[in-house]
Structure 1
Amino acid sequence: MHSIKRILFIHYFLFLGVLFLGPQSVMAQVESDERPLSVSQEGIGFKKDSVFLLNLRFRMQNRFGYFSTMDNIDKPGIEAVVRRLRLRFDGYVLNSKIGYYIQLSFSRSDQDLVSGNVSQIVRDAMVYYNVSKKLYFGFGQSKLPGNRERVISSGNLQLPDRSIANSTFTIDRDFGFFAYSTINSGPKHTVFLKGAVTSGEGRGQLVSPGGLSYTIRAEYLPFGVFKNVGDYSQGDLEFEEKPKLSIGTSYNFNDGTNRAGGQLGSILPNAVDLQTFIADLMFKYNGWGIMSEYFDRKAGGFEYTADNALAMNRIPRGTGLNIQLSRMLGRKHEVVARYSMVTPEKGFESYQYKLQNKALGYNYYLNKHRVKFQYYIGLDNRQHPGEIAELRHTFTNRLNTMIQIELGI
């Protein structure tokens, strides 16, 4: 009990310190992880006539948190980390039709060391060709056009981390060919179409012994586009004067992947076909924001043996749900509520976790998402029948509270 009081006191002390910093009069531009910024109002820029542009930006997220029980052992724990540290370079070469986007990561949690032994510093390395304002292509390593929360930059999140549904079922990043198109762009009825053909093994992989991964996505905006790319930034920081809605669906077929999560996860003893269906929406109006996502994943295309049964049964499959509701209180303060859950496919409950998360958050924006203070408190459930020794301990209403400060340009 004393340790919890000390943690809450530290959070309260840091919260007061951030409030006294006061607002800053700097413009914040929403960055996209699906194309380079043609003009940046922030960061450091180098430009030579119309033949070269370099935008240089950085951001970091420093976190201090408390868990009433940790993931790996049944004891309380402290999280004191640089959660994210990123460098971003983007612009164009020769002319504005040939763009590029590079993002590097330097914190331990950003380098895929949980499921591998090789440090994955390169997150994005893309070359783009802009046919027109409504059509462009990409080649390289980047985020797949999957669920909305994953494609939203981690610098534009209203809670310190993405949901448990995202972490279980996201299709993340991959290397290959990408295409993006806008149809009927105008004041109303905008449609975005996106697609990718990629290796299927995720970022930083040398070979793909199986087939390829195929991703398609469609987004419909019945009331027109959001201010400042707000359909890919959480929270209604722009205070939309009229209701804005984006409805998206994605489908990914990963043919013969060797990783448990497709582009993520541990290496499997043999290849598997994964199908992932995603539906999501973003709604904003007058400071209110709603974001929701639904996942459905199925696995097949393999035969069970005595050697692979456990690993193949533990492939994450089933459904996931995430709902977030937020309200801006003036221009600087925001409150957020989240409910998220993961339900294993019927017949696999003994091999996988049933997860649930209920959380509240508070944000204080000094320069929108570029400079902000975040407070988070959540209750986590992790359940399974206890029939498989490889699964970790269960918990109900685990307390997880943290503060996070983000600073970037």
Structure 2
Amino acid sequence: MKIYRILFAIIGILSCLNAIAQDTELNSYTFGEGIDFDAEKGGKFKLEGYIQPYFESKGYSEVDETANRYRMRRMRLRLSGNSANERFSYRFQVDLAGANEVDDEEGNNYLLDAYIAYDITKRIEVAFGQRATYTDNRELFMNSYALQLVERSRLTSAFASIREFGLFLRGNFKTGNGTYLRPYFALTTGDGPNVFSKDRGGLKIGGRLDFLPFGTFTNFGQFRQADIVRERAPKLAVGVHYSHNNGMSSRRGRESGAIVYLDANNNESLPNYTKYGVDFIFKYLGFSVLGEYINADAFVPANISQRVRIDGSTSTNFDVNGTMNVDSYVRGRMMLGEAYNIQGGYIFKNGVSLDARYTHLIADENSFLNNATFYNRPNYYTIGVTKYLTRSYGAKIQASYTITDGSDGVNTNKGLPTTEDENIFRLILTLAF
């Protein structure tokens, strides 16, 4: 099945290129920034792509157990463009590696972006389709090939829904003295990417508000982590975001039907999920800092009386530590709690970057964040080094070392309980065109 999906994605891209390439000519090419084409009737489109071969080694402080992993982390192609009058635009992006955006679970996510956008005015754009949502933390605004460290933070993997299908609006308003206000709004299915099965629950509504007190960043720097362009004046973006998912059937809203509950009449009854946060990014002369805070909570309906097992059968067992408690059981399968992430770094003029990150997770009493196999690790300490091979994000080698706090009790790679720290070494190569 996987090979068929890859072939389908390749055929889709080639078909789009063949349709668009009629009466077009090459405009420009910048390494790492894609190939620009002009259409005879005035339209424009761009083809971009990159690969990221990856190595990871995970061990424990005093446990003789190490697991090594080799894989293609990402292998992406993106096609984007706009009409002759530039009011209509589109994006189509696939990942032939089929990997998830965050490295905490397996996935077959070949289709990433597929949406059409329209400029209502010069300051307001509306888009419909599948794309990265505006209601996640700021790190999800950053392109994957432009990450400061090898992997995204654990805050992102714990709480982000990443991509969703729905309606998206964004604005860009000058507010005087060189400042900008950027509001965002999203109305989505709340089930992550496009749902081919039953769409459960209600809709998800949310938004974000960003303020840029020192003007816009150079070369889309607000959406790229390290300050490779070395901003000559201080640049800052600070924002808040909020979302409410009415009836969610997964841990954090990434897929539909992963976790389903029923009432006494066999009707679906699903918990609501609310998330909010505040974040910022700052850049100046090669120095950059990213800070994020996020909080997630849930409302569990009182009429839940059954849960649906993986095989489709139902159960009325909601045992939590020897006591039947529906509210605690439901919450225990969701990502509830709060987290902080702070990271920063400096790029020297020779293209070497030194970076560091600290992430802290605070799990609710009943939350999947307490799961010893995947989480239950409150502190993550990471240092990294990157060598940029060009004066862009197009070619770089990155290495990082992470110490994960296992003092609350975690399971090793082989499922053995321990309170030792995890030690993770990662290495990744990025090549873009």
Give the structure-2-normalised TM-score: 0.77
Unaligned runs of 5+ in 2: 1-26, 262-269, 306-315, 319-325
Letter in 1 for 2:214: F
Other-structure match for 1:257: 248
Aligned mates of 2:410, 2:150 — CA distance in 1: 30
User: Which of 312, 316, 321 lines up with 2:340 in the alignment?
Assistant: 321
Compute the displacement of 1:53 (Å).
Answer: 2.4
Other-structure match for 2:168: 178
Aligned mates of 2:47, 2:104 — CA distance in 1: 29
Compute the displacement of 1:383 (Å).
Answer: 5.3
**Higher Cα Rg, which structure:** 2
User: Which of 108, 115, 121 lines up with 1:126 in the alignment?
Assistant: 115
Aligned mates of 2:129, 2:150 — CA distance in 1: 28
Compute the displacement of 1:92 (Å).
Answer: 1.7
CA deviation map 1:348-374 (0-9, x unaligned): 586562432101011111232121110
Q: For structure 1, which segment, 347-356 or 357-366, has the greater mean C-alpha deviation from structure 2 after superposition?
A: 347-356
CA deviation map 1:70-117 (0-9, x unaligned): 9xx993111111111101000024542110001101114238998788
Aligned mates of 2:356, 2:336 — CA distance in 1: 26
Other-structure match for 1:332: 351
Other-structure match for 1:374: 398
CA contact (8 A) 1:281 1:292 kept: yes
CA contact (8 A) 1:237 1:331 kept: no
Compute the displacement of 1:232 (Å).
Answer: 1.3
Aligned mates of 1:278, 1:249 — CA distance in 2: 6
CA contact (8 A) 1:164 1:340 kept: yes
Counterparts in 2 of 1:113 and 1:373: CA distance versus 1, 3 Å: closer
Aligned mates of 1:277, 1:395 — CA distance in 2: 31
Q: Could you say what secondary structure the match of 1:302 adopts?
A: coil
Other-structure match for 2:423: 399
Aligned mates of 1:120, 1:113 — CA distance in 2: 13
CA deviation map 1:26-66 (0-9, x unaligned): xxxxxxxxxxxx98744333321344322111101111221
Other-structure match for 1:84: 74
CA contact (8 A) 2:104 2:157 kept: no
Letter in 1 for 2:199: S
User: Which of 142, 155, 169 lines up with 2:131 in the alignment?
Assistant: 142
Counterparts in 2 of 1:112 and 1:323: CA distance versus 1, 3 Å: closer
Other-structure match for 1:47: 38
Letter in 1 for 2:117: Y
CA contact (8 A) 1:200 1:208 kept: no
**After superposition, where does 1:161-240 map in structure 2 within 5 Å?**
161-184=151-174, 188-206=178-196, 207-240=198-231
Give the structure-1-normalised TM-score: 0.82
Other-structure match for 2:99: 109
Q: Could you say what secondary structure the match of 1:294 adopts?
A: strand
CA contact (8 A) 2:100 2:106 kept: no
Unaligned runs of 5+ in 1: 1-37
Aligned mates of 1:407, 1:87 — CA distance in 2: 12
CA deviation map 1:298-336 (0-9, x unaligned): 011323544354454121100011100101121411100
Aligned mates of 1:264, 1:381 — CA distance in 2: 29
Q: Could you say what secondary structure the match of 1:229 adopts?
A: helix
User: Which of 357, 380, 383 lines up with 1:357 in the alignment?
Assistant: 380
Other-structure match for 1:341: 360
Other-structure match for 2:297: 298
Other-structure match for 2:284: 285
Letter in 2 for 1:403: L
CA contact (8 A) 1:189 1:222 kept: yes
**After superposition, where does 1:63-74 map in structure 2 within 5 Å?**
63-69=54-60
CA contact (8 A) 1:350 1:386 kept: no
CA contact (8 A) 2:174 2:180 kept: yes
Q: Does 1:307 align with 2:314?
A: no
Compute the displacement of 1:197 (Å).
Answer: 0.2
Aligned mates of 1:65, 1:353 — CA distance in 2: 21
Compute the displacement of 1:132 (Å).
Answer: 3.4
Counterparts in 2 of 1:307 and 1:49: CA distance versus 1, 3 Å: farther
Q: Could you say what secondary structure the match of 1:110 adopts?
A: coil
Letter in 2 for 1:317: L
User: Which of 230, 234, 248 lines up with 1:243 in the alignment?
Assistant: 234
Q: For structure 1, which segment, 340-349 or 138-147, has the greater mean C-alpha deviation from structure 2 after superposition?
A: 340-349
Q: Tell me which stretches of 4 or more aligned residues in structure 1 moved more than 6 Å.
A: 111-117
Q: Does 1:267 align with 2:258?
A: yes
CA deviation map 1:112-145 (0-9, x unaligned): 998788x331111010102333211100000111
